[in-house]
Amino acid sequence: MKFGILVNEGPYQHQAGDSAYLFCKAALARGHEIHRVFFYHDGVNNASKLTEPPQDDRNIVSRWSKLAEEFDIDLVVCVAAALRRGIKEENLAPNFRISGLGQLVETGIQADRLVTFGD
């Protein structure tokens, strides 16, 4: 099955980023495909390379970057939501890219299921 993922919450305020990441890992382990992960609203904060959690805490941004690299997953950050939060191309962590809502629409069309994490 091909999944599209929508993440609407930031990495440390809510569990949505962690849950989405763990869902992706589990789906991939079961042989499913992740078509794209789209970060929207406060979810765009999952892409900021300026995030520096304490050493003994999980680094959600780094986890997404590594997962994308390992499985060739398209990590897309909504341009309008990112700019509202001060996130620009130069602030993105590796393997993230900025694009528009058209990418979310395409994900809904291309994927068998679109799974949303966060409000």
pLDDT band at residue 15, thresholds of 50, 70 and 90?
very high
Residue for token pair 């999980």: 58
What is the pLDDT confidence band of residue 72, given thresholds at 50, 70 and 90? Answer: very high
| pLDDT for the residue 74 | 98
Identify the residue with better confidence: 84 or 55. Answer: 84
The overall pTM is greater than 0.85: yes
110: its two tokens = 């291309």
Q: Determine the structural domain holding residue 11 and report its residue range.
A: 2-112
- Phi/psi at 33 (nearest 5 deg)? -115, 145
Confidence at residue 78, expressed as pLDDT on a 0 to 100 scale: 98
CB neighbour list of residue 29: distance below 8 Å, 6 or more residues apart? none
Q: What is the 3-state secondary structure (H, E, C) of the chain?
A: CEEEEEECCCCCCCCHHHHHHHHHHHHHHCCCEEEEEEECHHHHHHHECCCCCCCCCCCHHHHHHHHHHHHCCEEEEEHHHHHHCCCCHHHECCCEEEECCHHHHHHHHHCCEEEEECC
CATH code, domain carrying 94? 3.40.1260.10
Decide if pLDDT at 111 tops 90: yes
Determine whether 24 is an active site residue.
Answer: no
Say if 117 falls within a structural domain: no
Task: For residue 82, tell me if it sits in a domain.
Answer: yes
**Catalytic position from the list 20, 34, 78, 81:** 78
